[in-house]
Amino acid sequence: PLVESGGGSVQAGGSRRLSCTASGDVYGNNCMAWFRQGPGTVREGVAVIEGADHTTTYANSAKGRFTISKDDAKHTIYLLMNNLKEDDTATYYCAADVCPSAAKFGTTWYRRTSYGYWGQGTQVTV
């Protein structure tokens, strides 16, 4: 139900936009997030966008360089990555699920276990 695209090779300092299209029942009012997993590392949350009001939250590694957005008409979310660094090399995954409660959001949105729907991943090499 989640299909990513847009990965590829890019030079350091360059930009790349990833897309993730979801089926309607998954897209809904859920939280949709981008994760990444580099060689020998754990999968980490990069950014999340809330379904109802499009509020966004970013990991420190993404702040100021990455932008998550969504197009409700297309059931698609995007991750625009600017000023890419070698450390950004990873497989990027799209994930979706019901948003955590407000009380728990700050400590759960970036956890792999908070999402039940996953895409197959798209590789970004810097």
Looking at residue 37, what is its pLDDT?
Answer: 97
Looking at residue 52, what is its pLDDT?
Answer: 77
Q: Taking the CA atoms of 84, 87, 92 and 98 in sequence, report the sign of the dihedral they define.
A: negative
Across 101-107, average pLDDT? 88
CA distance linking residue 36 with residue 44, whole number of Å: 5
CA distance linking residue 121 with residue 92, whole number of Å: 5
20 pLDDT exceeds 90?
Answer: yes
Higher-scoring residue by pLDDT: 91, 103: 91
CA distances from 125 to 4, 34, 56, 119 (A): 15, 16, 25, 18
Looking at residue 88, what is its pLDDT?
Answer: 97
Whether the Cβ atoms of residue 36 and residue 91 lie closer than 8 Å to each other: yes
Among 1, 114, 125, 18, residue whose Cα is nearest residue 69: 18
CA distance linking residue 76 with residue 32, whole number of Å: 10
Looking at residue 25, what is its pLDDT?
Answer: 84
Looking at residue 1, what is its pLDDT?
Answer: 86
Looking at residue 86, what is its pLDDT?
Answer: 96
In terms of Cβ atoms closer than 10 Å to its own Cβ (0-12, 13-18, 19+), residue 107 is: exposed
Any idea which of 25-29, 33-37, 42-46, 92-96 has the lowest mean pLDDT?
Answer: 25-29
Looking at residue 45, what is its pLDDT?
Answer: 97
